[in-house]
Chain A
Amino acid sequence: MDDVLERIILGRLDADDKLAERTRALVIGACHGAEALDATLEGEATEPSKRAEAKAPSARNPAYIQSIEVQGFRGVGPPASLPITTGPGLTLVVGRNGSGKSSFAEALELLLTGDNSRWSTRSAIWKEGWRNLHQSDARIDAEFVVEGAKGTTVVSREWKPNAKLEEAQTVVSAHGTKKSDLETMGWAGAVEMYRPFLSYSELGSMLDAGPSALYDALSAILGLEDLIEAEARLKEASKQRKKLSDEAKLALPPILERLATVEDERARLCIEALSAKTWDLDAVETAVTGTEEADREESQLAVLRQLALLEAPDADEVRTAADGLQAAASALREMGGTEAAKARETAELLGAALTFHERHGDQDCPVCGQGALDAEWRAATEEEIGRLRQLAEQVDLVHRLMEESMKSARAHLLPVPAVLSSASEIGLEVEDLIGAWKTWSAGASIEESEALAQHLASSLPSVAEGVEKLKATASRELQRREDIWRPIATDLAGWLDTAKRARSGEDVLKDLSAAEKWIRAASNDIRNERFAPIADQAQGVWDMLRMQSSVQLKKIVLTGAGSARKVVLEVSVDGMEGAALGVMSQGELNSLALSLFMPRATLPESPFRFVVIDDPVQSMDPARVDGLARMLEKAAQTRQVVVFTHDERLARSCRLLGIDAKIVEVTRRPDSVVELRPGQDPVSRYCNDAWAVAKSEDLDPAVKARIVGVFCRLAMEAACTEAVTRRRLANGEDYESIEALLDSAKGLAELMALALFDDIARTKDLTSRLDRGIGKWAVTAYRRVQESAHKPVSQEAMLTLVQESEKLARGLVQLP
């Protein structure tokens, strides 16, 4: 976005405190381009603009025309060059329709337009018939003086014989540089935007083309494309999101239909989640991704998954436990219950004897009476007690081992797993397994170790077998369900992706349309702010052009958006307000179009320092031609204004109003020989033509004799016409009545009567008046030119006649 516009937008955003943060971010993102907008929509912060200082837009290579040379193009056969005074000023190119003058304007436009984008709108006849029939070589050269560049810059286009209009290269040769293409001038787009070519037919069609076209043509110069693009980006973003939303909605019914055919609880769950007004996309996602944690406890899938993972008590561990039991039992048996107890009791008895001996000293054994309790006995007994105690400890160990073994064996005797009862609920055959398992767990009540070991060994196989069978069944069932579900889940996952993006899109839609609305409102405001000075200028131009028209242009506003955009032209007719187009004549409409487009063509931003206007005088009444002349004079103060015109009305207005205008006359001979010469006021023109004939060395003397007098007479007629017109205009008479009076005059005599006496009837008094007022020679000259139309002028009298005729004509034109 250009700096100026960006600063304006940021300023407006700052001033708008009602704007939601995201809307604001979207506006900025959209202004920074499609990528930035996408980033904003993704939730990334857009970087604040780094460009700070704004530069005023400046025109590239501002240029004046110096000449246009055309060959073999349109109405021009052999090369013909139209010179135009470089710099601001008014040039009138005058020639009849068909004289080839418009070919110069078209040639210039073709050169600057470069490619054929604009020509594509031309008619097929134009595109086929652009070549001149009398000249096979076609080329156009326009010489420009570019501000700040040395010398002249020539833009050329040359066609090979038989090449089509678009089959040629436009080449730029600037002073002292290599040849390059038109791009180097940096004028691309400017021709369209500023259109320094205003043709009568185009002006008419501008107003007929419809309000949107007129709007576009006028708003293109305002430099709001970036803003319009930003608005379009937001619109597109909304559109895409709506489209995604529609896609998700549209794709749902077949998916729901498919889900309904599947006997899977996930399908039911999804149908439920998607039938609600707001889709429960999380629920669907869970169903699709199928994570176990998310399975509800009561779900069949959960049961099946648990069953698939069900384990019977580990056979190896159970066997180890049973072996442990057996080992403990046999150890216990080996030690013998009695011997172990006897050892402990004997140790206690001997211990008591040792205590007795300690207290009472050596003596005979009080128990058996045969042995003696002495030191020897004591030593032996102490040893015996140690042996007996060790034996008793071993017995204790075996007892503890037995306890441990019983405990670990019982640990395997778990109750029937709860999931088995759930399994029967979902229709799996588990009765046998439950029975087996109940038997298994019932072993917990067995006290006898070997019996328990026996139970472990005998009851396990039916449990293990049952579990294996059930696991297999559950796994198969799981797989079956999965096989049906997976493809649906895959499709559902695809849909889910769309739906999730649609959902996040929907969230932002409101902000997007708010941003779009904001930008549109901003564009409108900025547009009319920028358009205001142009509208003022247009009103100024109109005020010059309208002259006696009662239509006053009150207001020009660009309004509306999209297909409803239009240019509102408010006018008042004799003080009554109304819309413009309905109340205006064709001539007024053309003036209006010129008023609207003249400011555009002369904007300072335009690189073209020239404006080419083709035939603006058609259907203009004489007063409006005066207005046109004044408007052109004003424009010509700062611009090179080139006007192509098919008659001398504009030249006359300029002459009578004292407006400085260079005139170029264009005539076309047979075979498309186009000739140009500088124009002059009519009296000088005819006098110079008369001199040219009189002095000619090429012309047949007989021809000279027959035509020279007519040019002399034309000079006098023009002088009289000029004198009468000036005098009567000064008296406040209007063009129409003066023209009518002059038209009613028959020949030089009546014109001169009007000039000399202001009385068309006093032709009889002419010679005496000329004789008295001017001299004898004037009477002679007058008489000779009067005869000259029918009688050839002698070679000897020719120069004198021309000399005296000029003198008389110059005198007549000075008449008060």
Chain B
Amino acid sequence: MDTSGSSDMTSAEILERATGLLNHPTTETVGLWPRATAVLARQALEVGLHEALSEKILGIQGAPVRVQLLCLQSYLEDTETAHEVNLAWWALSQACHHLSYELPPTAPELEALIDVVRRFVRTA
């Protein structure tokens, strides 16, 4: 079903686009960029997870992200980063769902979350 070829993007490529959405105002993205950025950042994180774990655990890509995050805890020597990534995923997921009255994250919050993902993607 994926015909755009975008599924082949690396975590770093996706993250770069998340940063682009955040930093480059366009009239088309006024107001929607916070959630859009969060969506891309989360996807970058998830692709990053896949990149980190697919060689180590066969068939991991089919597992739910929650499970993958648990696996990361045990396979990544740096448990602090694993913990951070876990929290970042949770925070980004919040922004990808409708909550009854919460507004999407702010630019500084997104920057901090992207930072976590970037560090993880680099080390993984």
Contact = CB atoms under 8 A, between A and B. Distances in A.
Interface of A: 94-99, 646-649, 651-652, 665, 667-670, 673, 675-677, 682, 686, 689, 692-693, 696-703, 705-707, 710-711, 713-714, 717-718, 721, 725, 739, 742-743, 747, 789-792, 794-797
A36 B106 CA distance: 63
B25, B35, B42, B96, most chain A CB atoms within 10 A: B96
A710 to B, nearest CB: 5
Contact of B107 (A670, A676, A693): A670
Given A710-B96, A794-B1, A675 B31 contact: yes
B48 interface: no
Contacts of A714: 35, 96-98
B107 A789 contact: no
A697 B33 CA distance: 15
A742 B4 contact: no
Given A686-B98, A791-B7, A669 B103 contact: no
Contacts of B101: 647-649, 651-652
B70 interface: no
B65 to A, nearest CB: 8
Interface in B89-111: 96-108, 111
27 contacts: A96-B105, A646-B103, A649-B101, A652-B100, A667-B31, A667-B106, A667-B107, A668-B106, A669-B25, A670-B22, A677-B31, A689-B31, A698-B26, A698-B28, A699-B29, A700-B17, A701-B4, A702-B5, A702-B17, A711-B32, A711-B36, A718-B98, A721-B100, A789-B43, A791-B1, A791-B7, A796-B3
Contact of A707 (B2, B22, B40): B40
Interface of B: 1-7, 9, 14, 17, 20-23, 25-26, 28-36, 39-40, 42-43, 46, 96-108, 111
A702 B46 contact: no
Given A647-B102, A689-B32, A705-B4, A673 B25 contact: yes
Contacts of A789: 39, 42-43, 96
A631 B70 CA distance: 49
A4 to B, nearest CB: 48
A794 B5 CA distance: 9
A662 B97 CA distance: 24
Nearest to A671: B23
Contacts of B5: 702
B98 A702 contact: no
Contacts of B21: 703
A701, A714, A742, most chain B CB atoms within 10 A: A714
B26 to A, nearest CB: 5
B34 A667 contact: yes
A702 B2 contact: no
Contact of A711 (B3, B35, B102): B35
Contacts of A689: 31-32, 35
Given A693-B36, A714-B98, A669 B23 contact: yes
B2 to A, nearest CB: 6
Contacts of A668: 106-107
A647 B107 CA distance: 16
B33 A669 contact: yes
Contacts of A669: 22-23, 25, 33, 107
A652 B101 CA distance: 7
A287 B102 CA distance: 91
A703 to B, nearest CB: 5
Nearest to B27: A698
A59 to B, nearest CB: 37
Given A670-B23, A676-B30, 7 more contacts: A96-B106, A98-B108, A668-B106, A670-B22, A675-B31, A721-B98, A739-B100
B87 to A, nearest CB: 18
Contacts of B20: 700
Given A646-B103, A670-B111, A706-B6, A693 B98 contact: no
A389 B106 CA distance: 154
A99, A692, A702, A797, most chain B CB atoms within 10 A: A702
A683 to B, nearest CB: 9
A668 B105 CA distance: 10
A665 B30 CA distance: 10
B110 to A, nearest CB: 9
A370 to B, nearest CB: 178
Nearest to B47: A790
A123 to B, nearest CB: 22
Nearest to A95: B103
A739 B33 CA distance: 26
B100 A725 contact: yes
Nearest to A689: B32
B35 to A, nearest CB: 7
A648 B99 CA distance: 10
A669 B19 CA distance: 11
Contacts of A667: 30-31, 33-34, 104, 106-107
A795 B103 CA distance: 29
5 closest Cβ pairs, A-B complex:
A702-B6, A717-B98, A648-B101, A689-B32, A794-B3
A665 B106 CA distance: 13
A677 B3 CA distance: 34
Nearest to B19: A670
B33 A706 contact: no
A98 B106 contact: yes
Contacts of A792: 2, 4, 6-7
B68 to A, nearest CB: 11
Nearest to A622: B101
B106 to A, nearest CB: 5
A637 B28 CA distance: 35
Contacts of A707: 35-36, 39-40
A675 B30 contact: yes
Contacts of A795: 3-4
Given A648-B103, A669-B107, A706-B39, A717 B30 contact: no
A714 B95 CA distance: 10
B27 to A, nearest CB: 8
Contacts of A739: 100
Contact of B39 (A675, A701, A710, A797): A710
Nearest to A719: B98
Contacts of B107: 667-670
A713 B17 CA distance: 21
Contacts of A652: 100-101
Contacts of B23: 669-670
A747 B97 CA distance: 7
A615 B4 CA distance: 45
